[in-house]
Structure 1
Amino acid sequence: MAKKLTLDFLKTEAASGAALGLAALLALVVANSPWAGDYFSWLKAEHTLQIGPLVLVETTSNWIKEGLMAVFFLVVGLEIKYEILKGELSNPKKLALPIIAALGGMVAPIGVYLAISNLMGGPTQGWSIPVATDIAFALAVFALVGKNLPSSLRVFLLTLAIVDDLGAIMLIAALFSQGVQWLPLFGAIGVIAVMAVLGRWRLAAAFWVLGFGAMWWLTVKSGLSTSLMAVAFAAIVPVNPRPETGASPLRDAMHDLHPYVAFLVLPVFAFAKAGVSFAGLSLEQLFAPLVVAIALGLFIGKQIGVFGAAWLATKLKIADRPSGASWLQVYGVSLLCGIGFTMSLFIGVLAFPGAVDSLEQVEVKLGVIGGSLLSTVVAALVLGLASRRQANRTIKKNED
């Protein structure tokens, strides 16, 4: 049953991967066209949500990042919980592997960045930029090139990326937080606790929606990332079927929300975040110390950290390789983790505060885009090769 559910998700994402890629490409075209001014004005435009005395004002960009993406992280959290309790990650050693790999994938890029930056005389304060993995884009690439690969690899990537992303969020909170509002944060935690207790009884879908909405509102007011709290909310959704209906609230939520996430949330997110203007860029800046340090931190650091930690963990027998996966396939997934893009760009803004067209911001964009594109191309080649080998083995096995 767990395998069937994962395969259903893969079918949806294989179709939505193209939509995500097209949305990102369209954003790049628009951001470098005569409509660039309208595009960036739209992202900065403020919109108000008011429900009685409750008022929330955010820009289009923030509504997408903190609103729509909260739903994405909710679905990601639901799937990880399902896999931990019922699927691939129910084996503790299978769960340990992506966690250990994620830790390696955070440490190694920092080392690569600092080594290159010191060697070339670049700034050291950007060391946190290559730490993050862009879950949405990494999953989209995997969906496009990994059709014949074991579904356990996608679960490995998904879990690794969410641990990596949560690590990046905590890093942002520790290094760049301007102060969390504790009262609304405790309120959000209280909502999760109440829903966890009520979840023992049969609740209509509307109650879960209201509970999630209340938690989300309080989290935004607290100043904490909604991504982290959305994953926490997913952890309290019951996975076992109700005796009276035979339906699992968690599976129903995954089934109902996933198409909206795949074909609406992620393409809109890509269109809003992939629009990077190349105005004012010069060829000389392509090899600036900051550019090279970020790009190689993502491309070299991520694959060394993720693959090295995964290999070492299996050799020490504290973790197991994903079911049915080869080391070549695991290496391809390790390359995918070098797609930093949106989260890395966001950290770059915090690490080098200033105008969007400042020298440091231009170089941050070049480094992130360069490292992410390089990781995407090489990962696609490796996973494409691994997919063909997998298909040939399947055909030969069937013939025998």
Structure 2
Amino acid sequence: MRIKHTLTDFIESEKSGGLVLIVCTLISILLANSSIGQSYLAAWHFDLGGHSIEHWINDGLMAIFFLLVGLELVEEIYEGQLASLRSALLPISGALGGMLIPAGIYIALNVGTATTSGFGIPMATDIAFALGILSLLGSRVPVSLKIFLTALAVIDDLGAIIVIAIFYTSSLAWTNLFLALGIFAALMILNKIFKVKNLILYILGGIVMWYFMLHSGIHATIAGVLLAIAIPYEKKTGNSPCHRMQRWLHYPVAFIILPLFALANTAIVLEGNWDKALGEPFALGIILGLVIGKPLGITLFAFLSIKLKLCKLPKGLRWRDMIGVGMLGGIGFTMSIFVTLLAFDDIHIINEAKLMILLASLAAGILGYTWLNRVLKEKKD
């Protein structure tokens, strides 16, 4: 019951959190293109302790977001959709297809260009927006569909984290990396051998690990995932350190951290000829990757895994429902924008890529909602 209650709380917070993200995005774009646009943009680049406010948000606060993603992944592995290999294979295969096909489309359109490094952008799914739109369909949505989308998006986020760690690391400071990994190992020993459950010790260790990871060359947010793995988890209690940390973080992440990320990173100045960017290879790669590649990859790989008898379709779900979930998987936003910041250096390309992500995510959301609204209505009738 506790796991089901936690999932309900999570979905509800993501529903309202997604709406907050939409509002923050609109406000940020409007302010960036208003008479105070320059001042608004400058505010995010204000120096605070040697780093801009935007940098603190992207490398600091977003580590807390990744910590929450990691905690949710741990819970799914212990007691959720990923608890057994057979039940986990469907969302895993769907997420794998939803990463490989969009990346393949992007690379095919950008091979040999200066923007090839953006292949990771259309690989991501924004769980807040996807679940938020799914929740707009109300009680018609089967619980199994919500659980599948949640597991799919969490695995997708893990895939994005792995891609960031492997492909968006320019150079390594080995001493700092070993120190960060040494702290991670020490936290694991506290958990697994000494059975320490004091969250304060893990939080303090996590902060130090984040500091060394920040200076290692690997993106600092990876420390959030490592900390999540190290925090103790106990089955069927609902009150383990992992559960408590999740409850503490859900609302701050949904209503403070992600809105700040949206405000800081969607301050896009729309130039008079912004629409010309639609024909650029990177723009086509992002749009086609998210809008077409995501549903194609998710549905195709899920279908193949079932045909190969590796897993089975959850009770109450139809392939038409899965296609709709695949469409919602094309909502990139948070993770796609995050990867954009790592993939490109040119501010004009970054801004244009962000705009393409917003357009593609909007299209994916409308298509997914329209499709599911129709097929779920047919199912009810």
Q: Report the TM-score, using the length of structure 1 for normalisation.
A: 0.83
User: Between Structure 1 and Structure 2, how many residues are aligned?
Assistant: 377
Instruction: Give the one of 216, 224, 228 matched to 2:210.
Output: 216
Partner of 1:353: 345
Instruction: Give the one of 244, 251, 259 matched to 1:252.
Output: 244
Q: CA deviation at 1:203?
A: 3.1
Partner of 2:40: 39
Deviating more after overlay: 124-133 vs 305-314? 124-133
Instruction: Give the one of 57, 65, 70 matched to 1:77.
Output: 70
Moved over 6 A (4+): 121-124
Verify the 8 A CA contact 1:146 1:383 in the aligned structure 2: no
Q: Aligned runs of 1:115-264 on 2, under 5 Å?
A: 115-116=108-109, 125=116, 126-145=118-137, 148-199=140-191, 200-240=194-234, 247-264=239-256
Structure 2 CA distance for partners of 1:138 and 1:186, relative to 1, 3 Å = farther
Partner of 1:378: 367
Structure 2 CA distance for partners of 1:254 and 1:171, relative to 1, 3 Å = closer
Q: Report the TM-score, using the length of structure 2 for normalisation.
A: 0.86
| 1:97 equivalenced with 2:90 (yes/no) | yes
Q: CA deviation at 1:6?
A: 0.7
Deviations along 1:136-166, one digit per CA (max 9) or x if unpaired, are 4434434444664344444433443344344
Residue identity (%): 37
Letter in 2 for 1:65: N
- The root-mean-square deviation of aligned C-alpha atoms, in Å, is 3.0
Q: CA deviation at 1:312?
A: 1.0
Structure 2 CA distance for partners of 1:30 and 1:320, relative to 1, 3 Å = farther
Partner of 1:320: 312
Verify the 8 A CA contact 1:88 1:152 in the aligned structure 2: no
Q: Structure 1 unaligned segments of length 5 or more: list them.
A: 49-56, 394-400
Verify the 8 A CA contact 1:108 1:301 in the aligned structure 2: yes
3-state DSSP of counterpart to 2:51: strand
Instruction: Give the one of 337, 357, 364 matched to 2:353.
Output: 364
Letter in 1 for 2:44: L
Q: Aligned runs of 1:240-319 on 2, under 5 Å?
A: 240=234, 247-319=239-311
Structure 2 CA distance for partners of 1:217 and 1:362, relative to 1, 3 Å = closer
In 1, the alpha carbon distance for the partners of 2:138 and 2:230 equals: 31
Q: CA deviation at 1:209?
A: 1.9
Verify the 8 A CA contact 1:99 1:163 in the aligned structure 2: yes
Q: CA deviation at 1:103?
A: 2.0
Structure 2 CA distance for partners of 1:115 and 1:154, relative to 1, 3 Å = same
Q: CA deviation at 1:178?
A: 2.3
In 1, the alpha carbon distance for the partners of 2:344 and 2:69 equals: 30
Deviating more after overlay: 167-176 vs 292-301? 167-176
In 2, the alpha carbon distance for the partners of 1:129 and 1:248 equals: 35
Letter in 1 for 2:367: V
In 2, the alpha carbon distance for the partners of 1:204 and 1:362 equals: 43
3-state DSSP of counterpart to 1:197: helix
In 2, the alpha carbon distance for the partners of 1:80 and 1:311 equals: 23
